[in-house]
Chains A and B, each alone.
Chain A
Amino acid sequence: MSRQKKSKGLPPWLITLLFLIVAGAAYFSLHQNFGDSSMRTVEALDPDLYYNEANSLRGNTYKIHVQIDSSLGDSPTRGRLFSVLLDSSDPARGAEILPILVPPELGSLTIQKGQNYLMKVQVVENGLLKVREAVKP
């Protein structure tokens, strides 16, 4: 009778604990990768490169994590124009400021000063950053 009790394996509480650990890691990992599978492979925008060679970046798509600075203008056909603050790679310089154009297709997106957004932007004509996707982180 005593031999049968020794062959039962891992206890259930341990299995539950491991499951919880794995699930937490998966959740954390998912959120660490911008929470969106479409931006996972998009390159982050280099602000210096954009300032100096925007023309050569035309057509490229980048992702930026920005804070809304202010609204610059609004056009029913062209969209909304905002200035956003982008964290600089050089802490001494502080945040970089960039203009972005939110096209009318993203009209449903509510944008207010101070909000943080993860955006996928494309360098279009005239060196303008046109927002293709935007999600709140």
Chain B
Amino acid sequence: MKINSMKSSRFLLFSILSLSGLPAQPIPNAQTIHETGQQYREGNPLTGAADNLAIGSQAMFEANLKAKKNIVDMKPNTFLSLWNNPGFAVQFEKFLSAPAETSEDAKLYRQRIDRIMELLAPGNATKEHQDEAFDLLPLASQFESDANNCTTIHDAVYAAANARVEVQKLTELDRDLENQLKSAEYNYVHSAESLTLSREAVSKTEESNNDKNQNELLHATIDPAKDQVAALKATIQRNQQQIASTSLQAKLALQSLILQLFVQRRYQHVIIIDRFYRALFDDGDQSLQEFEQMADRLGYNKAAGQVKIIADANPKGAVASGSQNGGPNNGVGASAGAGTGGAGASVGNGYYNNNVGGDASALSGSGLNLGIENLSVESLENAFSTGMKGASRTFKSLSQLDAFANEIIRDVNEGVKVYQFLLEKSELESASSQLAAVFTKGEYLPSVRLLSVDEKRKTLAYAQLCNRLVNAANSGNIDALAEVTTQMKAMNPSFDDAEIRAKLESVKTASSLYVAQAKVAAARGDLPSVQTQITRAASLWPNNPELQDFSQHMTQLSDKASPQVQAVNDFTQLYGQKNFRQIWDDKEKYIAAISQSPDNQGKLKDVLSRMQDIETSIMRSQEIARRGDYAGAWEGLEVAFNKYPDDLKLTQLRAEYTTQSPDFVHDLRAAQSYEEKKEYGSALAWYLRSQKRYPMSDLAKEGIQRVVKLITSDAS
């Protein structure tokens, strides 16, 4: 392990030298590098994806730069904060894309709703108007935008009216029963008073028998009347209980519907049904206390389907009575409520009108099946349930509800006007916030529905940008976030992007710092730390250019671990630098490596041919020089130099021989210089002079021939 560590250190030291811009030095031991590369690839314990993920998460906490979360959480303005709620964002975007409800159908629907409200307005709700409004409800419900709410109101009012009729019948029945009860009680008393029994006692035994007979006669005479009284009382009590429960059921059904519509923000419908309620139940009781109790029991119903509030107040089996003749205050009433399909079972004990005997009754509140049906999204169900509970606690009477609904309608209408004004003034952020608030409060109100697409289009574009901003922040794509922020700022100059910009810069800086730490770790030869820091940097800013550069360097270094790949890379680099001498010096290595690289085989062949030529010239010149013929040696190199002027060894040796035969070289260069200047007479003189100095000179000979030809040419 220690040896491996040392090798690793050496490898990383080399990598850092490369990264720091220093020229790559030849690797002394290719096998060692190869081994190190293998270790880097296989032996690192932190190469698993899970480890990387853990490191990335840890980085977010360690750096305290949870930028993604921070950006999402921050509230640069109201509008943006609204978009943090995906459910709202989707609904609001749908609203902004929808055309204005200006069709004839929509207009007719609004007229009918207005007519209903007018008919039920306080002071105008006569019996005839109520009937007319009631008849208009199914007609208003024909329109899609009503979502059948008017039909629901119609059915609920109809059911409540029926309950009232039933209550009236029971009340009349009770009145008849009470009359009968009075007659029975009178008969019972009269029988008791008119009964006279003789007492003829002959003996003690006869006296005893006589008493028995008297008792039998007493019971035979009085008991029928007494039983009749008891039966009538029980019947009256049951009727009274039924009246109470029927009335309660009807009230609760309407109240729950009112609150349901309120939570749904159907404020016009709230006012309509509230006015029906007042017309139906004119006893002055508008308390919502019973409903509050029900709302507290509101549970979740996860059945899929339409959203609907279940408000079944039919207490099936909830009323029961018990009878015991044990005397006053000993009545035990047992009752049990079990609504079919509904929750609730209770036992109620209590005393009820037990003036005589031990009769007791209990009225169970159970059997009230209140819940939400047909809601497929649990979160929405919870929200609705919470809304119902909140509304029941907020409003203590229907009057409050009615007033609040009217206030909201007014507020929404005013908000729409404010939105249009702000839009006209190009204050987009404020306008969008205003529209979002208006939409939240009164999505279904006519003033909101009548906003045209043109009026909503700018807000739509701004909303989409906000949506993209949130998504970009969630995705953690710093570059995308910066781009969207720029677009938002361009569209809405008042958009406060300072915080986002600051966080973006912080994240970028942090990512760069991690890259720097990775480099430092690499310098120390600490491979796990390198990977840790790089993973941290990537988790913060995946597109960090420094990260990509570092990765490329690491990849190259990793490749260098293979001698063959390294040799090919070296060859490519040396060939690009025209350092053919270096290739020649290590030709054995490159020949072996390039054999597996067809692309470079042609280049290597050219290099070897070239260097062979140069080396031959050098060897020949050196041989000539050994004989003392430095001019000849120089000339041999000069020919090769003209062909390969960039070979260092050739250049150096040529310079050395130049100093050994300076006159010849001088004369020849002078000749060449004059030849280049087309002063052929002088050039010929210098060529002749150099040839005279070194008669074996090929260069001089060729120069003479060349210049003579030019001079004697007819064309010249």
Q: Which residues of A contact B (CB under 8 A)?
A: 50-51, 54-55, 72-79, 81, 83, 96-99, 101, 123-129
Contacts and interface: CB of A to CB of B under 8 A. Distances in A.
Contacts of B712: 73-75, 78-79, 81
A55 to B, nearest CB: 7
A46 to B, nearest CB: 13
Contacts of A74: 712
A101 to B, nearest CB: 7
B704 interface: yes
B103 interface: no
Given A72-B708, A128-B681, 6 more contacts: A55-B682, A73-B712, A97-B689, A97-B692, A99-B688, A128-B711
B715 to A, nearest CB: 10
A53 B682 CA distance: 9
B714 A75 contact: yes
B716 interface: yes
Q: Lowest 7 A-B CB distances belong to which pairs?
A: A128-B681, A127-B681, A127-B682, A75-B712, A126-B681, A73-B712, A73-B708
A55 B684 contact: no
Contacts of A76: 714
B688 A101 contact: no
Contacts of A125: 681
Nearest to A98: B685
Nearest to A94: B692
Is the interface on chain B under 10, 10 to 19, 20 to 34, or 35 or more residues? Answer: 20 to 34
B686 interface: yes
Contact of B681 (A78, A79, A96, A124): A124
A126 B708 CA distance: 12
Nearest to B682: A127
Nearest to A72: B708
B697 to A, nearest CB: 13
B207 interface: no
A126 B689 contact: no
B375 to A, nearest CB: 108
Contact of B685 (A54, A73, A77): A54
Contacts of B704: 72
B685 A126 contact: no
B203 interface: no
Interface string B691-716: 01000000000001000110111101
B685 A99 contact: yes
A55 B686 CA distance: 14
A81 B711 contact: yes
Interface stretch (B87-95, B233-241, B672-680): B672-680
Contacts of A81: 708, 711-712
Given A54-B679, A126-B680, A128-B680, A73 B688 contact: no
B483 to A, nearest CB: 70
A71 B234 CA distance: 162
A130 to B, nearest CB: 9
Nearest to A80: B712
Contacts of A101: 711
Given A54-B679, A72-B704, A127-B681, A83 B711 contact: no
Given A72-B708, A126-B678, A128-B680, A51 B713 contact: no
A78 B688 contact: no
Contacts of B685: 50-51, 54, 97-99, 127
A77 B712 CA distance: 8
Contacts of B682: 51, 54-55, 126-127
Contacts of A126: 678-682, 711
Nearest to A83: B688
A103 B716 CA distance: 14
Q: Which of B681, B689, B714, B716 has the most CB of A within 10 A?
A: B681
A128 B681 CA distance: 4
Contacts of B679: 54-55, 126-127
A85 to B, nearest CB: 9
Contacts of B711: 73, 78, 81, 101, 126, 128
Contacts of B684: 72, 99, 128
Contacts of B708: 72-73, 81
A127 B674 contact: yes
A80 to B, nearest CB: 9
Q: Which of A76, A83, A99, A123 has the most CB of B within 10 A?
A: A99
Contacts of B714: 75-78
A79 to B, nearest CB: 8
Given A73-B708, A77-B714, A96 B689 contact: yes
Contacts of A79: 712
